[in-house]
Amino acid sequence: MSNIVLVGATGDIGKSIHGNLQNHNLITFSHRNTPVYNSRHYYLDLSQPFTKEAIDRKLEEFDTVDTLIFTPGEALFELIQDTSLEQVDKQYNVSIRALITFIQSLLGKLRHSDCASIIVISSVWGTYGSSMESVYSAFKGAQETLVKSLAKELAPSNITVNAVAPGVVRGKMTLKLNESDISMMLEDLPQGRLIEPEEVASAVEYLRSDKARSITGEVLKINGGWYT
């Protein structure tokens, strides 16, 4: 049984990942919602700065962590000139500062594992960018660059570092669109369908397995051929 830290356990993707890992010892984090599945759970607002010591205290009884899975993301649809610096700060805190803080806190425990991994859920826009989502895209792109850099930095410690970059995933954010917008979007998708959260969860399950020990520094695209 592995010790797994799952940050963002209550979103559509996080919930599916959580469901796949029920046989492991899970320590989960979310902002305000309670996970559907059992875990040792903590509430944490990632949009505000927090210290490494805040995470250390919650995990002090664990000598080893085998996997860190980081799923949070907060949509931001704004023209750059209409985006407040407060919104920029929140995006940075959620996508980058919180991720780095968790990695710094858990790194010693990950080094004690025989099969350690860090997996970040990024976005198609982190690679290709999106009009009206430039700030969101910028920080998702920063996540992917961090993954590639850390893969080299942590390879001697036998820690793999990868990202999964989904396209349009079926979930709360997507289904807020009206039927006309969804129909137009589906016409633009080569497969003509939304990605199921379970598809992303299965990729995460593979990347943390023994069968993927030589895969590191990769951004695995799950977008139905939308951007290739």
Q: Which residues are catalytic?
A: 136
Nearest to 14 by CA among 40, 36, 42: 36
Q: What is the DSSP string of 31-90?
A: SSPPPSS--EEEE--TTS---HHHHHHHTTT-S---EEEE-------B-GGG--HHHHHH
8 A C-beta contact, residue 204 and residue 69? yes
CA angle 129-98-100, nearest 5°?
A: 85
CA angle 119-59-205, nearest 5°?
A: 25
Task: Tell me the C-alpha distance between 205 and 16, whole Å.
Answer: 11
Nearest to 16 by CA among 222, 224, 227: 222
What is the 8-class DSSP label of residue 21? T
